[in-house]
Structure 1
Amino acid sequence: MSAQRWAPPRWSLLHGAAAGHDFEGYLRRRAARGDPFAVGFPGFPPVLFTGTSEGARELFRAPVELLEPPRPNPIEPMVGAASLILSSGPRHRADRALLAPALHGARVRGLGEVIREATLLEIEKGCGPGVSWQVGGRIDALAASRAITLRVILAAVFGTGGDRRAEYAGAVTDFLAAFTTPLLVAPVLRRGMGGFGPWARFVAARERLDRLILADVARRRRVRSETDDSTGDGVGGVGHGGDLLDLLLDIRYDDGSPLTDTELCEQLRTLIVAGHETTATTLTWALYHLHRERGLRDRVVAELPAASGDPAEQARLPLLDAVCQETLRLHPPVPIVLRRIRQPWRWRGIDIAAGQTIGLAVGVLHGQPATWPAPRLFHPDRFLDRKVSPFEFAPFGGGHRRCLGATLAEYELRVVLATLLTGVRLRLEPGLALGARPRTVPRNLATAPNRAIHFTRTQ
């Protein structure tokens, strides 16, 4: 690639506006000019993206010591520098090794009943803004999905007995709403104005959420001290001795040091916010397609009795699984993977200098016609008769920094959908059922539909 093609586009403000209007469409248009392709937004270093499986393979197989998250990072104000998402080097490897057992295998499967119960509770008691689960009621799919996934992640983090859901729901909702798209894509706006303005509102919302988290940390420490019981079974279930907060409190590094309160708060904030927002967005899109594509919902419902109501069996149903996979293919909730190069490296036939940022455009990868015929169509059956490579399908990233919560997110998505399809009957509003598909736009930690997706409950 010539130096001219590697240079980011001029008029970066206009490019930022175009990306904010239709993020995945913007990346597809840039990719159509050739791969790899350069992108640059105000306040961020230029990025050289790939959208090919060959580029993904090179990126995900790069030596561990070569790559780190870029700084400044668009989501750093939300998750914090100590978050697993942004840490690097030996600290990232240590944190990942300590946290991985809590988010994989038997422990995740042990949350099946918690996930189903959270969904049923939302159907029975949920009545937040834009959501009425009464027959004939109107339901904002994203609001309802967020309520369900927040119930799940709070139970996983704090245990069912410590769930202050209403307080957290308000704090998390305000926190997400305060981190607007301009703050996400333009760091120059992240400045105080005497306690006023969008940045001040976001900081206040973050402090409110952090106070809740730290109060629960202090409360748990008191309980552990009083009971002198700081060990858990480490498998399945939630509650004291079995939830993620206990795991974090038990963490000790090689020098014997625990997590500081700041580190605890940032890891927990990441788990709570990222752990429900990305799944809620995917759940919203899955419900949209299930009720838009002719006959698809009925096919999935016909498959459900084979699982006999067992969440683990539901998660293995082939068509339900294919619907979830196709949703993640067409609507990856985190559409880009970014890495900063620590040493000079040759990637995609180009010499990359130390300090430069490269990335994978996940939506472009998932739209390669050679891999995915008719890529813009929602066609879950494509996943029924083929195995896909992690370099062709990467909704959770890949390599040594693949999303640690992927197993929980995928399991939760399937169990929630199975519970909803069994418990209620929904009808997609006619304008959405017949009109053009909503665009995907950046929002907080994930992308989301650019307009509300509404359903009516019919029974």
Structure 2
Amino acid sequence: MVKAIFTASPSALLRAASAAADPVGFFTSKAVTQRPVVLHFPGLGRVVFHGTSSAARDILTAPTQGCRAPLPNPVEPVVGPASLILLSGERHRRERALLTPAFHGEQIKSYAEVIASATAEQIRQLCPGDSVDVYALAVDITLDVAVRVVFGVADPARRMRYRQAVKDLLAANTAPLMLVPALRREVGGAGPWAKLLRLRDGLDRLLSEEVTQRRPPNPPGGDMLGLLLSATDESGRGRTDAETLDQLRTLLAAGHETTASSLTWALYHVYRDDTVRARINAELSGSSTPSDITALPYLGAVIKEVLRMHPPVPIVLRRLTAPLTVDGVTHPPGRVVGVALYALHFNPEIWPEPHRFDPDRFLTHRPTPFEYAPFGGGHRRCIGAAFATSELAIALGTILTLLDLRMPHRGAGAPVPRSVARGIAVTPADPIRLDVTARRSPGPP
């Protein structure tokens, strides 16, 4: 497997390095909107990326029996083999059906107050004169939301244990372990892989305690864990304990990191543009509850534009199990094909002036699922998409309501930071900082 990495042609290795260093620049300057681009990924081998809306349609609507999740996956060490992200075929269909009740519209609405409360608590200690690392703040908010929403944990000390356990586990999943599966082996109980397994076991002990407390005859509760434990398939069968742990790790780890990336970019753009911020504040002045925030049209357009320019996971991959014609190119079984979301989302034929942050475009144009796909699409579209957009709106609205922040002058006038992979998601290459200028009196929302 490692040998295959180095047997790729020099040009292929150069393309891969360019894509890793500057994915936005690579996929928007290499004319992927006109022709496929081939990259080599460790473990996956040759991956053919397409960037047109017609290619996105072909890939995202490919029959379930004709494709599967590409493995190995960089997140597998954290989420586990039974994670929805990694499953295919009937197992994927069944697990998705079991998870769906936790993400129904009315259920998502019930989380609104929790999201607002978690956000307010995380920014409570900020005072005028403080300088805030935006990504660190976003991680604290989204991870606290995940712990509260998934488990309904009220005890602050226990929530802190969860947050630290998840942070430690994600930090242990280093780039070499993510990108070179051959390194995922123990050497006498020592080394990076052994450390990751110990940290995963530690998180699993916390999770197992919660699961045990919720098993019959104890009441399941109305949070996500309660719904996960009570869900059964058509035959009346639920999940095994191992399957439950894998889904819980997925919700805690993968779910919060991608949303933290999006919240970071949202705060960057909102505090970079006085006009955008003023329009959001005008909408917020008429909102009385966290649920109201999710229905604000301009704030919703801001979030959509953030996700257009900065999709947290900017590639959508399928491994073919049957031939598939993509934009006129027929790919054989076994090949991995992908949609390059940067190419799609920055295509000037779809998005005029694509490098300009312009939320109004979403107030006047409703793109198709094959022009705009920040959460993927088809039968593998992110099951938490609606929850993520709701969380982004409430967290951003709560911050704007409770704090006055300012971007330093040098940041406001600088080019948009380069995007780089950090863990599961793509984040700004350089730290984004905001200065706290004042606290506002608590009020609606």
Q: Normalising by the residue count of structure 1, what TM-score does the alignment of the two structures yield?
A: 0.89
Contact 1:20 1:181 in 2 (8 A): no
Determine helix, strand or coil for the equivalent of 2:364.
coil
Contact 2:38 2:46 in 1 (8 A): yes
Equivalence for 1:233: none
Q: What is the CA RMSD across the aligned residues, in angstroms?
A: 2.1
Which range moves more in the overlay, 449-458 or 27-36? 27-36
Q: Which runs of 4+ in 1 moved over 6 A?
A: none
- Compute the displacement of 1:12 (Å): 4.7
Determine helix, strand or coil for the equivalent of 1:306.
coil
Residues 76/85 of structure 1: CA separation in 2 closer, same or farther (3 Å cut) = same
1:109 aligns with 2:88: no
Equivalence for 1:74: 74
1:258 aligns with 2:238: yes
Determine helix, strand or coil for the equivalent of 2:325.
strand
Equivalence for 2:164: 170
Residues 52/162 of structure 1: CA separation in 2 closer, same or farther (3 Å cut) = farther
1:457 aligns with 2:430: no
Determine helix, strand or coil for the equivalent of 1:389.
coil
Q: How does 1:60-459 map to 2 (within 5 A)?
A: 60-125=60-125, 133-161=126-154, 164-221=158-215, 224-225=216-217, 227=218, 229-230=219-220, 240=221, 242-307=222-287, 309-459=288-438
Q: How far does the alpha carbon of each residue in 1:303-337 deviate from its partner, in whole angstroms, 9 at most, with x for none?
A: 21222x22222112121111101100000001011
Contact 2:324 2:330 in 1 (8 A): yes
Structure 1 CA distance, aligned partners of 2:304 and 2:395? 15
- Compute the displacement of 1:281 (Å): 0.7
Unaligned runs of 5+ in 1: 1-6, 126-132, 231-239
Contact 2:103 2:384 in 1 (8 A): yes
- What amino acid does structure 1 have at the position aligned with 2:427? A
Residues 98/43 of structure 1: CA separation in 2 closer, same or farther (3 Å cut) = closer
1:50 aligns with 2:55: no
Q: How far does the alpha carbon of each residue in 1:120-139 deviate from its partner, in whole angstroms, 9 at most, with x for none?
A: 111225xxxxxxx1221121
Which range moves more in the overlay, 256-265 or 13-22? 13-22
Structure 2 CA distance, aligned partners of 1:252 and 1:412? 27
Structure 2 CA distance, aligned partners of 1:152 and 1:71? 29
Contact 1:15 1:41 in 2 (8 A): no
- Compute the displacement of 1:255 (Å): 4.4
Contact 1:141 1:455 in 2 (8 A): yes
Contact 2:134 2:264 in 1 (8 A): yes
Q: How far does the alpha carbon of each residue in 1:22-69 deviate from its partner, in whole angstroms, 9 at most, with x for none?
A: 233233344449422211123322111111111111112221221210
Equivalence for 2:442: none
Structure 2 CA distance, aligned partners of 1:138 and 1:331? 24
Q: How far does the alpha carbon of each residue in 1:381-434 deviate from its partner, in whole angstroms, 9 at most, with x for none?
A: 111211111111100001111100001000010011111101001112333222
Structure 1 CA distance, aligned partners of 2:241 and 2:123? 36
Structure 2 CA distance, aligned partners of 1:356 and 1:363? 21
- What amino acid does structure 2 have at the position aligned with 1:285? W
Contact 1:139 1:455 in 2 (8 A): yes
1:38 aligns with 2:38: yes
Contact 1:426 1:457 in 2 (8 A): yes
Structure 1 CA distance, aligned partners of 2:81 and 2:259? 23
Contact 2:185 2:193 in 1 (8 A): yes
Unaligned runs of 5+ in 2: 1-6, 439-445
Determine helix, strand or coil for the equivalent of 2:41.
coil
Structure 1 CA distance, aligned partners of 2:352 and 2:193? 44
Structure 2 CA distance, aligned partners of 1:13 and 1:167? 41
- What amino acid does structure 1 have at the position aligned with 2:374? P
Which range moves more in the overlay, 181-190 or 315-324? 181-190
Structure 2 CA distance, aligned partners of 1:411 and 1:37? 34
Identity between Structure 1 and Structure 2 (%): 45
- What amino acid does structure 1 have at the position aligned with 2:134? A
Residues 350/16 of structure 1: CA separation in 2 closer, same or farther (3 Å cut) = closer
Structure 1 CA distance, aligned partners of 2:396 and 2:241? 36
Q: How far does the alpha carbon of each residue in 1:92-127 deviate from its partner, in whole angstroms, 9 at most, with x for none?
A: 1111112112112100011111111111111225xx
- What amino acid does structure 2 have at the position aligned with 1:216? E
Structure 1 CA distance, aligned partners of 2:9 and 2:342? 20
